[in-house]
C-alpha cells in the first residue's frame, strides 16, 4: 500500500493514536496479522532481531543497532515507551520518524485501524514495520511491548531472539508468578531460531529452557559464552574488557553506567555473532559500543550539583540503579525523587531507597496514570524515618524545591518512570 496525500495536524493524529490505548491490551495476534496483511506484510521486507525481557531490553536493542549501523548497515530501531516525543519509538540509523510521516500513515490507514479495532501498540507496530519497509532497512531491532508470546512484534520471523533478565512486572497481564511471566517471555522463541538468554535467576533459566525446548528453539546462555570485565567506572562511562570466543578486546569505553549494563553489553555482543552473512569487524564492535546513545539510563543531567535520571520503574530495576549509585558514592548521602506509574509495586522500595541515606521526595506523574504519592510514602515510611520523606504531588514544584536545597557537592537521583521525562528534561535544559 502506498501512502499519499496531506495529513491533519500531528497533534490531532497523536490524540487519535493515544486514544487507542483506551481499547486496552488484547491478547492474540489476529488483529496485528490482519492489518499487516492489508499493508502487504511489510515485516517480510527486512531482517530482524527480536528482544524480550523485563529489564535491559532497550539498552540491548540500542547496542545491537549501534554496532550494526557502525558496520555499514541500515538499521531500524523500534522501542517503547518514548521519553519526550512519540517519534523516538521508530528510528532508522538514529533518525526519528517525522511528524508528517506519522500523520500520513494514520490518515491513510485509519479506516483499517477502526475496522480491525487494533490497539495502540498494534497500530504503532504496524506503523514501524511499514516505515522500515519504506526506508528499505537491512535490519530492524525490535523490542517487545511487555510480553512475548502474544506481543504484536512476535509476528516477525527473526534472525535471532534475545531474552534479557526477567523479573516481576506487568503481572496484571503476564501472570502473578515469575513462572507465568517467564513462560510468556519465552513465547518469542521460534523453531530453529536461536534464542540468546541473558543471565537469569536459576529458576527463571530453567523455565525458559523448558519453554524454548517445547518450541524447538535452540538456546544459548550468555554468561557461558561471553565475559565482560569492568576495568574502571566513572560518572558517565565505564571501561571494560570483553572476551568471547577467541577474541579479547580491552579498554572499550562503554557510555552506559552500572554493572547491570554489562549484562546488556555481553548479550548484545554475543547475539550479533548469530547473524548470518554479515560483515562486522572488531573495530565495528568497539566503535558501535562507544557510540551507543540511550538517554534516561543513569543519565547525568547536571554536574554541580550532580543530578542523575533513570527510568527504572520496577523493583528489580530500581534496586540495580540504587546499587550502582551507592557503589559510586559509598560515603555520600544521596537525595532521591521517586515517581511511579499506577500499576507498579512499591511495598519493598523503602529498604532499597533507604540505603542512599538522603531525603526521599515522592511525587506523581502529570497527565498520566500515576501511583499516589501519599501511598508510596506510606509504604516507604515503614522502612525509613518519616522526617526523611517529602511529599509534593506537583512534580514541577517538587523538582524546583529539591534542586534549591542542593549545595554544590550534593547528589540527586531522579527515577521511577519514562513519563516524567517531559518535565525533567526541560527543567535541566536537555533535549533528546
Domain identity same for 316 and 208: no
Decide if 341 is inside a domain: yes
Reduced to 3 states, what is the DSSP secondary structure of residue 323? helix
Decide if 263 is inside a domain: no
For residue 39, the model assigns a pLDDT of 98
| Beta carbons within 10 angstroms of residue 155's beta carbon | 17
Domain boundary among 189, 224, 259: 224
For residue 361, the model assigns a pLDDT of 97
**Placement of cell 514495520 in the chain:** 129
For residue 273, the model assigns a pLDDT of 94
DSSP type of residue 370: B
Angle (CA) 312 315 319, round 5°: 75
For residue 109, the model assigns a pLDDT of 97
Decide if 276 is inside a domain: no
Decide if 165 is inside a domain: yes
Decide if 290 is inside a domain: no
Domain identity same for 183 and 314: no
Domain identity same for 83 and 181: yes
Domain identity same for 205 and 306: no
Decide if 395 is inside a domain: yes
Domain identity same for 70 and 200: yes
Domain boundary among 177, 201, 224: 224
Judge contact between 133 and 46, C-beta under 8 A: yes
> DSSP letters of 255-287?
SS-SHHHHHHHHHHHHHHTT-TT----HHHHHH
For residue 264, the model assigns a pLDDT of 97
Decide if 335 is inside a domain: yes
Domain identity same for 306 and 182: no
For residue 7, the model assigns a pLDDT of 44
For the beta sheet containing 299-303, the strands, ordered from the edge strand earlier in sequence to the opposite edge, are 299-303, 306-310, 411-415, 334-338, 357-362, 389-391
Domain boundary among 180, 196, 224: 224
For residue 173, the model assigns a pLDDT of 45
Judge contact between 173 and 25, C-beta under 8 A: yes
Q: How many domains does the chain have?
A: 2
CA 196 to chain centre: 17
Grid coordinates representing 92?
Answer: 532508522
Q: Specify the CATH number for the domain of residue 373.
A: 3.90.190.20
Domain identity same for 138 and 39: yes
Domain identity same for 215 and 306: no
Decide if 269 is inside a domain: no
The full length of the chain comes to: 432
Judge contact between 140 and 147, C-beta under 8 A: no
**Placement of cell 542523575 in the chain:** 308
Partner residues linked to 342 by β-bridges: none
* Distance (Å, whole) CA 224 – CA 244: 10
| Beta-carbon-side half-sphere exposure of residue 406 (alpha carbons within 13 Å) | 25
Sign of CA dihedral 340, 26, 219, 275: negative
pLDDT tens by residue, the chain, 432 residues: 444 444 458 999 999 999 998 766 677 899 999 999 999 999 999 999 999 999 999 999 999 999 999 999 999 999 999 999 999 999 999 999 999 999 999 999 999 999 999 999 999 999 999 999 999 999 999 999 977 888 999 999 999 999 999 976 544 445 458 888 899 999 999 999 999 999 999 999 999 999 999 999 999 999 999 999 999 999 999 999 999 888 899 999 999 999 999 999 999 999 999 999 999 999 999 999 999 999 999 999 999 999 999 998 788 889 899 999 999 999 999 999 999 988 767 777 888 898 899 999 999 999 888 999 999 999 999 888 888 999 999 999 999 999 999 999 999 999 988 999 999 999 999 987
Domain identity same for 67 and 216: yes
**90-92/95-96 β-pairing:** antiparallel
pTM for this structure? 0.93
* Distance (Å, whole) CA 154 – CA 385: 46
Q: Which of 157, 162, 189 is nearest to 264 (CA)?
A: 162
* Distance (Å, whole) CA 77 – CA 49: 10
* Distance (Å, whole) CA 430 – CA 266: 30
Q: Specify the CATH number for the domain of residue 114.
A: 3.40.1190.10
| Beta-carbon-side half-sphere exposure of residue 20 (alpha carbons within 13 Å) | 20
Cα-flanking dihedrals φ and ψ of residue 301, to 5°? Answer: -95, -25
Domain identity same for 156 and 41: yes
Domain identity same for 54 and 148: yes
* Distance (Å, whole) CA 220 – CA 205: 11
Q: Residue 14 is part of which domain span?
A: 10-224
Domain identity same for 308 and 214: no
Amino acid at each position: 500500500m502506498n501512502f499519499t496525500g496531506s495529513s491533519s495536524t500531528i497533534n490531532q493524529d497523536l490524540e487519535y493514536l493515544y486514544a487507542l490505548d483506551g481499547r486496552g491490551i488484547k491478547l492474540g495476534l489476529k488483529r496485528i496479522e490482519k492489518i499487516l496483511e492489508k499493508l502487504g506484510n511489510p515485516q517480510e521486507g527486512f531482517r530482524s532481531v527480536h528482544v524480550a525481557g523485563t529489564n535491559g531490553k532497550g539498552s540491548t536493542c540500542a547496542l545491537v543497532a549501534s554496532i550494526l549501523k557502525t558496520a555499514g548497515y541500515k538499521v531500524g530501531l523500534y522501542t517503547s515507551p518514548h521519553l519526550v516525543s512519540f517519534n523516538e519509538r521508530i528510528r532508522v540509523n538514529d533518525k526519528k520518524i517525522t511528524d508528517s510521516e506519522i500523520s500520513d500513515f494514520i490518515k491513510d490507514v485509519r479506516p483499517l485501524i477502526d475496522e480491525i479495532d487494533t490497539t495502540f501498540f498494534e497500530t504503532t507496530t504496524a506503523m514501524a514495520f511499514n516505515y522500515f519497509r519504506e526506508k528499505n532497512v537491512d535490519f530492524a531491532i525490535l523490542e517487545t511491548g511487555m510480553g512475548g508470546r502474544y506481543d504484536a512484534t512476535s509476528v516477525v520471523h527473526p534472525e535471532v531472539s534475545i531474552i534479557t533478565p526477567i523479573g516481576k512486572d506487568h503481572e496484571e497481564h503476564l501472570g502473578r508468578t515469575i513462572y507465568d511471566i517467564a513462560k510468556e517471555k519465552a513465547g518469542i522463541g521460534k523453531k530453529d531460531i536461536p534464542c540468546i538468554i541473558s543471565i537469569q535467576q536459576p529458576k527463571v533459566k530453567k523455565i525458559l529452557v523448558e519453554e524454548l525446548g517445547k518450541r524447538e528453539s535452540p538456546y544459548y546462555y550468555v554468561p557461558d559464552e561471553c565475559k565482560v570485565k569492568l576495568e574502571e567506572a566513572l560518572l558517565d562511562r565505564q571501561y571494560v574488557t570483553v572476551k568471547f570466543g577467541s577474541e579479547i578486546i580491552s579498554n572499550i569505553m562503554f557510555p552506559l553506567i552500572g554493572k547491570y549494563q554489562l549484562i546488556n553489553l555481553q548479550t548484545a555482543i554475543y547475539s550479533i555473532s548469530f547473524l548470518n552473512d554479515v560483515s562486522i569487524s572488531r573495530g565495528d564492535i568497539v566503535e558501535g559500543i562507544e557510540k551507543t546513545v540511550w538517554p534516561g539510563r543513569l543519565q547525568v543531567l547536571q554536574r554541580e550539583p550532580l543530578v542523575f535520571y533513570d527510568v527504572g520503574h520496577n523493583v528489580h530495576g530500581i534496586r540495580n540503579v540504587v546499587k550502582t549509585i551507592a557503589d559510586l558514592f559509598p560515603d555520600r548521602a544521596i537525595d532521591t525523587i521517586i515517581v511511579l506509574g499506577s500499576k507498579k509495586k512499591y511495598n519493598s522500595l523503602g529498604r532499597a531507597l533507604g540505603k542512599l541515606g538522603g531525603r526521599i521526595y515522592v511525587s506523581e506523574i502529570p497527565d498520566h496514570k500515576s501511583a499516589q504519592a501519599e501511598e508510596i510514602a506510606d509504604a516507604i515510611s515503614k522502612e525509613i524515618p518519616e522526617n526523611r520523606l517529602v511529599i509534593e504531588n506537583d512534580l514541577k514544584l517538587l523538582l524546583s524545591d529539591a534542586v534549591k536545597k542542593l549545595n554544590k557537592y550534593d547528589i540527586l537521583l531522579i527515577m521511577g518512570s519514562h513519563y516524567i521525562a517531559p518535565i525533567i528534561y526541560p527543567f535541566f535544559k536537555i533535549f533528546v
